[in-house]
Amino acid sequence: MAIVAASAVGFSIGDAVDAHRSTAPPKIVTSVVNKSVINRYWTNMGQMIGSCKVGTKGSTCSISTGKTATRSVSLAYGMTRGAVTASLGIDAATSVSVGTSCSSPPLPAGRIYRAYPIGEKWQYKIQKITYVGIGLSKTQKTGWLTAFNPSRTHIYCV
């Protein structure tokens, strides 16, 4: 039996390898992984949803219901807000109407009383797997991402 070099029959080893590669575009699969609620009653001090100012020393003020809190969701690798919120089991809407009010104790004149939303703080990672051929894949994962899911019934007033 004779052994013939690939170049002698008109193709290279690279051509043979390329013939076995798929010409289809790579398949990309993204998912939320390592998800957990890290605080069920987290106060989002970066999102004031209402305030009032006391005009006279010893007076009180109130913050009424119907304020809007924002649901924040971090995204990566082209994963949509709807896909991330579905994986976390939370609503995809960007805002939540808060149905709770609060009243201040007697305060000094000029003091501002503020309300902040309370809700679930989530942490998670987004994983991206790119399949480039039979048995070949590349996995990428983000660092920790967060989401805030405000409660409709809890606020923090200070």
Q: Which residues pair with 124 in a beta bridge?
A: 145
Q: Is the pTM of this model over 0.75?
A: yes
pLDDT(11) > 80: no
Residue 81 in domain: yes
- What is the reported pLDDT for 26? 87
Q: How confident is the model at residue 135 (pLDDT cuts 50, 70, 90)?
A: confident
- What is the reported pLDDT for 66? 86
Question: What number is the average pLDDT over the span 38-47?
Answer: 97
Work out the angle at residue 79's Cα, subtended by the Cα atoms of residues 76 and 80, and round it to the nearest 5 degrees: 115
Residue 50 in domain: yes
Residue 120 in domain: yes
Question: What number is the average pLDDT over the span 76-94?
Answer: 97
Q: How confident is the model at residue 8 (pLDDT cuts 50, 70, 90)?
A: very low
Structurally, the chain folds into a number of domains equal to 1
Residue 37 in domain: yes
Residue 82 in domain: yes
pLDDT(1) > 90: no
- Contact status, residue 99 vs residue 117, Cβ threshold 8 Å: no
Residue 39 in domain: yes
Residue 32 in domain: yes
Beta-carbon contacts of 67 under 8 Å, excluding residues fewer than 6 positions away, are 49, 50, 97, 98, 115, 155
In DSSP notation, 102-146 reads EEPPSB-TTPEEEEEEEEEEEEEEEEEEEEEETTEEEEEE-S-EE
Residue 10 in domain: no
Q: How confident is the model at residue 23 (pLDDT cuts 50, 70, 90)?
A: low
Task: Look up the domain containing 149 and give its range.
Answer: 24-157
Task: State how far the alpha carbon of 85 is from the alpha carbons of 47, 65, 77, in Å.
Answer: 20, 26, 15
